[in-house]
Structure 1
Amino acid sequence: MPALNGLLWLISYWLIGEVVIHFSGLPISSGVVGMLLLCTTLAVIGRVPASLAAAAQPLIALLAMLIMPGVVGVFFILNELAGQWLAIVAALLLGTLLSVFTTLWLLTRLMGRSHAD
């Protein structure tokens, strides 16, 4: 049952992201908005609930499979991306660096709190 509770956490934040995108009209994925809100919530709480960890762990193992359809889809629109390689490379580099630094920051913050206890 803990995994079901954690899955409800994930689905709830995804739906909150859907609502935010619907009413704001931002050109961002609702999943990204939901995960940013979830990350903010976890940073405020200072820990990851066991139920959320139980639901997320199997999904992390399947992450490559979840990303694969989007990666394969890029091959079908290569002609449309032909003149935009500099912007794509810049976005990939910046996105990767921000993702790594954010992950490291969150990890050190959460690990620091758990070692202090």
Structure 2
Amino acid sequence: MTALGGFLWLVSFWLIGEVIVYLTAIPVSSGVLGMLLLSITLALRGGVPDTLAAAAQPLIALLAMLIMPGVVGVFFVAGELGGQWVAIIVSLMLGTLLSVLTTLWLMRHLMRGQNVK
């Protein structure tokens, strides 16, 4: 039952992102916007609730499978991306670097004051 509350957190922030994207017509995925808002909320709260952690843990284990449809989609449009490989590689490297830095910053911020070895 604990994970159900965590899924409520995830779905609620996804829906908030969906409403914001619908009302403002910004070109951002509602899932990305919802997770950004969730990250800000968790940073302001100073931690992750146990219910959210219980819901997120099984999803983290499935993360590689959740990424697979995007990888398969790139395979089918590879011909159209022929002249854009430099931009794609730079974007992937920059995106990976920013993701790692953001994760490190968030982890350091959320684990402040905890004695973790």
Give the residue type in structure 1 aligned to 2:73: G
User: Distance between the aligned counterparts of 1:28 and 1:18, measured in 2?
Assistant: 10
Match of 2:114, SS? helix
Report deviation, 1:87: 1.5
Residues 11-20 or 49-58, more deviating: 11-20
Residues 17-26 or 62-71, more deviating: 17-26
Q: Name 1:2's counterpart in structure 2.
A: 2
Q: Percent same amino acid at aligned positions?
A: 67
Let me know the Cα RMSD of the aligned residues.
1.0
User: Distance between the aligned counterparts of 1:33 and 1:11, measured in 2?
Assistant: 12
User: Distance between the aligned counterparts of 1:114 and 1:9, measured in 2?
Assistant: 24
Report deviation, 1:66: 0.7
TM-score norm. by structure 1 comes to: 0.93
Task: Report which of the two has the higher share of helix.
Answer: 1
User: Distance between the aligned counterparts of 1:90 and 1:24, measured in 2?
Assistant: 29
TM-score norm. by structure 2 comes to: 0.93
Give the residue type in structure 2 aligned to 1:23: L
How many residue pairs are counted as aligned between the two chains? 115
Residue 110 (structure 2) pairs with residue 105 (structure 1): no
C-alpha offsets along residues 48-80 of structure 1, whole Å, 9 cap, x if unaligned?
Answer: 000000000000000001111111111001111
Report deviation, 1:23: 1.6
Misfit runs of 4+, over 4 Å: none
For structure 1, the 5+ residue unaligned runs are none
Residues 18-27 or 97-106, more deviating: 18-27
Report deviation, 1:113: 3.3
Match of 1:44, SS? helix
> 1:46–1:113: 8 Å Cα contact kept in structure 2?
no
For structure 2, the 5+ residue unaligned runs are none
User: Distance between the aligned counterparts of 1:84 and 1:40, measured in 2?
Assistant: 34
